[in-house]
Amino acid sequence: MLASIFNKTRPFNYVIIGALLLMAFISYSISQQTFLGWQGILYGIFYFATIVGSCFLVNFIALKNDLSRNNSYTILFFFIFLLFFPTIFKNKSILISNFLLLLSLRRLISLKSMKNTKEKIFDASFWIFLAALFHFWSIVYILLVFISIILHVSRDYRNWIIPWIALFSVIILFFIFNIFSQNQLLEDVFNKSYISFDFTYFENIYQNIALAVFTSIAFLFFIFMLMTLSSKPMNMKTSYKKIIFSFLLGIAIYVLSAEKNNSCLVFTLAPLAILGSNFIENQENKILKEGTLYILCFFAIFFFVCQL
C-alpha cells in the first residue's frame, strides 16, 4: 500500500507528507512548550518553513539529478527519519546549517554537467562556510568540495583556489556582522568549535534505542549502495559517490560536534534518504518492499510518540 502510493511523484504525496509533518511539528512543539507567545509562534513558523524547505530540497536533488526514479520515496524517507529524532524540530542552528549544506550538495551534484563549474564550486563552498557559522563542525563538509573537484575538474588549478576565495568572503561578512553584534557572533562560534566525544547525552532510553535502530537501518542502506554501485550507469557513479561521501561526512559532523545530541544526525538524513530510496526501488519482491516501509513507519511513529 505505502510503496504503491509513493511510487509516483504525485502532488497528493507531497500534500500527505506536508500535512503529516505539520501535525508532527505542532504535536512536538505543544508537548515541549517550545514556541510560546507571538514571538515564539513566529519562530515556529520559521523553523517549520526551514524543515519543509529541506524536505523538498532533498527531493529536488534526488529527482533532478536522477539519483532516484520518478517516485516520492526520498522525501518519505527523509520525513520518517525526522520522526526518529524530533529534537531536530527545536534546534535552530542545526536546521539552518543543514539547509545550507543541502544547497551546497545541490551545486556539487550538478557539477556532472560540467557547466559553470567555477560558479558551482564557489557557491557550494560559500554555503558550507556559512553553515559552519551556525554549526561549526559543518565545516568538514568542505571535504566534499575537494572530492568533487577531484572527480570532475582537478586539472584546472584555479578550481582548487576557489574554495579559499569563498572562505575569505564568508570571513569578511562574518566580521562585519560581528561588529554589529558586539563580538557576540565570534563568541558563539568559538564556544561551539571544540571537539566532544561525549555520547552520554541521552535524556531518555527511547533516544538511545532510536539511535541504535537508526544505525542499523543506515548500515543496511549504506552497504546495499556499496554493493550495487558498480551496476549504476557510468555517468551516474560520481553522483552516487558524492552521496556516499556526504553520508560519511554527516557522521563525522555528528561525532565531532560539541553539545552533542541526536539532532546532530540531521546531517546524515538527506543522503540516507537517497540511499533508502535506491534500496526500495531495487526490491522486486512487493512484500519485502511494503514490509520495509511499514516497519520503518512503525519505528518512526513509536519513537516520535515516546519522545513527546
d(CA 10, CA 179): 48
Contacts with 2 (C-beta within 8 Å, 6 or more apart), sequence order: 76, 290, 293, 294, 297
Answer positive or negative: Cα dihedral of 102, 245, 267, 209. positive
Contacts with 80 (C-beta within 8 Å, 6 or more apart), sequence order: 296, 297, 300
Q: pTM here? A: 0.93
Contacts with 244 (C-beta within 8 Å, 6 or more apart), sequence order: 222, 225, 226, 229, 271, 275
What integer pLDDT is reported at residue 28 of this predicted model? 92
Can you tell me which residue has the cell 566580521?
A: 175
What radius of gyration do the chain's Cα atoms show? 19
Can you tell me which residue has the cell 519505528?
A: 299
Can you tell me which residue has the cell 507528507?
A: 17
C-alpha count within 13 angstroms, C-beta hemisphere, residue 93: 17
What integer pLDDT is reported at residue 54 of this predicted model? 96
For 290-293, the CB contacts below 8 A with 24+ separation are 290/1, 290/2, 290/3, 293/2, 293/3, 293/6, 293/76
d(CA 297, CA 2): 10
Q: Residue 307: what are its φ and ψ, rounded to 5°? A: -100, 5
C-alpha count within 13 angstroms, C-beta hemisphere, residue 270: 33
What integer pLDDT is reported at residue 84 of this predicted model? 96
Contacts with 39 (C-beta within 8 Å, 6 or more apart), sequence order: none
pLDDT (tens place) for every residue of the chain, 308 residues total: 787 888 888 888 899 999 999 999 999 998 888 887 788 889 889 999 999 999 999 999 999 998 988 899 999 999 999 999 999 998 889 999 999 999 999 999 999 888 889 999 999 999 999 999 999 999 999 999 999 999 998 888 899 999 999 999 999 998 888 787 767 777 777 777 778 887 777 778 999 999 999 999 999 999 999 999 988 888 899 999 999 999 999 999 999 998 888 999 999 999 999 999 999 998 888 888 999 999 999 999 999 999 98
Taking the domains of the chain in order of start, what are their residue ranges?
Answer: 1-113+196-306
